[in-house]
Chain A
Amino acid sequence: MEMLSGGEMIVRALEDEGVEYIFGYPGGAALHIYDALFKAEKVPHILVRHEQAATHAADGYARATGKPGVALVTSGPGATNAITGIATAYMDSIPLVVISGQVQSHLIGEDAFQETDMIGISRPIVKHSFLVQKPEDIPSTIKKAFFIASTGRPGPVVVDIPKDLTAPEHKFPYEYPETVSLRSYQPSDKGHSGQIRKAARMLLGAKRPIIYAGGGVIQGEGCAQLTALARRLNYPVTNTLMGLGAYPGSDRQFVGMLGMHGFYEANMAMHHSDVILAVGARFDDRVTNTVSKFCPGAKIIHIDIDPASIAKIVPVDIPIVGPVATILAELDKQVTLQMESAERALPDADSLEKWWQQIDSWREAHGLWHGRHYGESASIMPQDAIRALYEATHGEAYVTSDVGQHQMFAAQYYKFDYPRRWINSGGLGTMGFGLPAAMGIKIALPDADVACVTGEGSIQMNIQELSTCSQYGCPVKIINLRNDYLGMVKQWQDMQYEGRYSESHYAASLPDFVKLAEAYGHVGMEVKNQSDLLPAMKEAFALKDKLVFMDIHIDPDEHVYPMMVAPNGAMKDMWLSKTERT
């Protein structure tokens, strides 16, 4: 058998696992691994400028490709810097394997230089973690890490490896296991057929149905099955912030995103529905609004791979645990069977017709552009910037975002027709996610258009990655919706704190982003006029090989609407503009 050092085994195991890229940053405890990486010359390594960016880039890679992302960091500060990225991936159930160097085994617990209890610090934000005890365990541990990260409800797995285990002078027999079996971890592989039959019956009996689909449908590769079922039934579909693209955004049956800044018609349809089919969604507080007022007349069918997500927030009538793709396919079959064998036509055509009329009238009354002073304002409207982005990229781009108003505008106005194109930190809401995530995607998919929609607050949280983008040639397009404020904070201060802008204004301290981009060897563009917007956007995307930083000056006073009324509101209670509410 081949003899390898611990460091070499790590690198080989990653190769054998089929890893395409490692995003990382070296340091003392990881140096043996880095040396093995240098010698192996197989898996390309992307040197980020901050470990947070390594985890976000690996995360962006994973969200866009569906394969687990890999990050490699050193002990102590390297490990702690990675934490925000790990938490981000955890909240959105993204498969990551994070390998962290650790101080030598005999120093653990002695407050050694750059020692941090990585297993302890990451414990609440990982799916699982391993502190490797002996070099011989490295191959099987890495195999397990990938298996756990990418199966069931995916999530990040940390593998912490003490430096002495990776030393080049000690060699061990290497064999990469082909399979893993863990007695304590057996994700379910199909749903309960009796429950599925019951669900089909409930669905077909609905008068005001709605399908509420979340990120789990994308993670679980169930989008085609979802679309088939929805089309067969002609039922309205709403996606969560994480689920955008799970059902085609430009389809007639799509009623838009739901939730805090969801579409009026989506939130109204949810509230007034009688049957909700929830798939791969978790009744997040940003969706339900006040739980006791949530969808008072609805019976709920909930499909999810994670039993702990079911009935966590809202009682469920028909829970179905298992992989969404298989269950949706089975449900579609059951629905078809029951439609064929029913004595009268199912679902009831009259009720469904009425329900659609109702939804269409909601759409007409307060669709997305309701109350926008489009065209009247001298400044560029953020919504328009997103529409221009949509047009310039023909709706085909991978769009990452940071966190704030720009994120919500992007989610609302870019119609995602495909899964894995909308990449954002929905669960943790991590400012600083957008640029590194875009980088990870562009590296994996060099021919795709990749845009990062951001704000001046967020972009500055990982702006150092402009340098990484130079080194590896990542011509992403940065769409900076610049309002000179921490816009979302300002919006809340406008609405709840009588406009007291406590620490949300930059007071003319922002850098010249054009020069900044140029300093890193990129192209900068400043856009101030509405009429320049689309041409500039097209010009930027025509520069295929260039990273373009578009600094787009938008109306600083614009708010994101609709916005659900809180506290004590139901889903139907929304602000529609600064002065109107439902």
Chain B
Amino acid sequence: MRRILSVLLENESGALSRVVGLFSQRGYNIESLNVAPTDDHSLSRLTVTTTGDDLKIEQITKHLNKIVDVVKVVDLTEGAHVERDTLLVKVRAVDAQRDEVKRTVEIFRGQIIDVGPMTYIVQLTGPSEKLDSFLQALGETEVLEVVRSGVAGMARGEKVLSP
């Protein structure tokens, strides 16, 4: 099962490598990883998507909590939450393809953020599945390059992840 773990981490040198190291060392899988400082610059917030049954996720959570730099860990997928991933995709856009791509982008409520003579860069934000569907919907269009931010997430409502 796919899980989204949100981690508050001391913004210290080496802290991120401890988290990443834990996953590789213990053979846990990282599907995506997103990390940046929060409004409090002494803290970073990480979102890790991974897969595993309850037991495995429990182990991952426990081991994350053991890392001295880790302040808090929650499994967002345990409750109602929102998740967003951002996709930038550069496609070949010539002749009829230019309109074709534009239409698809509109359907998915994406934006074309760079227009070259032969290419577009499309930006799309949403849950990972939506981005996957968009890439599929591009169909014949030649995809030149893809970059994704990785999932960032938050619990809905009153729940707050703070130190």
Which residue numbers of A lie inside 8 Å of B, CB to CB?
Answer: 119-120, 123-124, 127-129, 131, 133, 148, 182-185, 306-308, 311-312
Contact = CB atoms under 8 A, between A and B. Distances in A.
A119 B62 contact: no
Contacts of B63: 308
B14 A307 contact: no
B62 A308 contact: yes
A133 B13 contact: yes
Interface stretch (B65-73, B79-87, B153-161): B65-73
Nearest to A133: B13
Contact of A148 (B68, B71, B163): B68
A127 B14 contact: no
A183 B71 contact: yes
Given A184-B10, A308-B62, A311-B58, A123 B21 contact: yes
A311 B55 contact: yes
Contact of A185 (B25, B55, B59, B68): B68
Interface in B45-70: 55, 58-59, 62-63, 65-66, 68-70
Closest 10 CB pairs of A and B: A308-B62, A128-B68, A184-B71, A307-B62, A185-B68, A124-B25, A308-B63, A123-B21, A119-B14, A183-B163
Contacts of B66: 306-308
Contacts of B62: 307-308
29 contacts: A119-B14, A120-B17, A123-B17, A123-B18, A123-B21, A124-B21, A124-B25, A128-B68, A129-B14, A131-B13, A131-B14, A133-B13, A148-B68, A182-B68, A183-B163, A184-B68, A184-B69, A184-B70, A185-B68, A306-B66, A307-B62, A307-B65, A307-B66, A308-B59, A308-B62, A308-B65, A311-B55, A311-B58, A312-B59
Contacts of B163: 183-184
Nearest to B58: A311
Contacts of B71: 183-184
The range of chain B's interface size is 10 to 19
B68 A127 contact: yes
Contacts of B10: 184
A97 to B, nearest CB: 14
Contacts of A312: 59
Nearest to A182: B68
A129 B69 CA distance: 10
Interface in B1-25: 10, 13-14, 17-18, 21, 25
Given A129-B14, A184-B69, A308-B59, 6 more contacts: A123-B14, A123-B21, A133-B13, A307-B65, A308-B66, A311-B55
A125 to B, nearest CB: 10
A499 B108 CA distance: 69
A124 B23 CA distance: 11
Interface in B61-105: 62-63, 65-66, 68-71
Nearest to B42: A183
Nearest to B62: A308
Nearest to A152: B66
Nearest to B13: A131
A46 B65 CA distance: 37
A137 to B, nearest CB: 11
Contacts of B21: 123-124
Q: Which of B55, B58, B68 has the most CB of A within 10 A?
A: B68
A128 B163 CA distance: 20
A11 B122 CA distance: 59
Contacts of A131: 13-14
A552 to B, nearest CB: 41
A4 B69 CA distance: 29
A380 to B, nearest CB: 44
Contacts of A183: 71, 163
Nearest to A144: B68
A184 B69 CA distance: 6
A156 to B, nearest CB: 13
Nearest to A123: B21
Contacts of B17: 120, 123
A133 B62 CA distance: 29
A182 B59 CA distance: 23
A185 B63 CA distance: 13
B52 to A, nearest CB: 14
Contacts of B58: 311
A548 B14 CA distance: 46
Contacts of A306: 66
Contacts of A148: 68
A127 B62 CA distance: 14
Contacts of B65: 307-308
A228 B154 CA distance: 49
A372 to B, nearest CB: 41
A209 B10 CA distance: 44
A127 B67 CA distance: 8
A183 B69 CA distance: 9
Contacts of A185: 68
Interface string B12-42: 0110011001000100000000000000000
Contacts of A127: 68
A18 B110 CA distance: 63
Nearest to B55: A311
A127 B25 CA distance: 14
Contacts of B25: 124
B105 to A, nearest CB: 42
A184 to B, nearest CB: 4
Nearest to A125: B25
A312 B13 CA distance: 29
A426 B106 CA distance: 63
B117 to A, nearest CB: 41
A131 B15 CA distance: 11
A129 B14 CA distance: 9
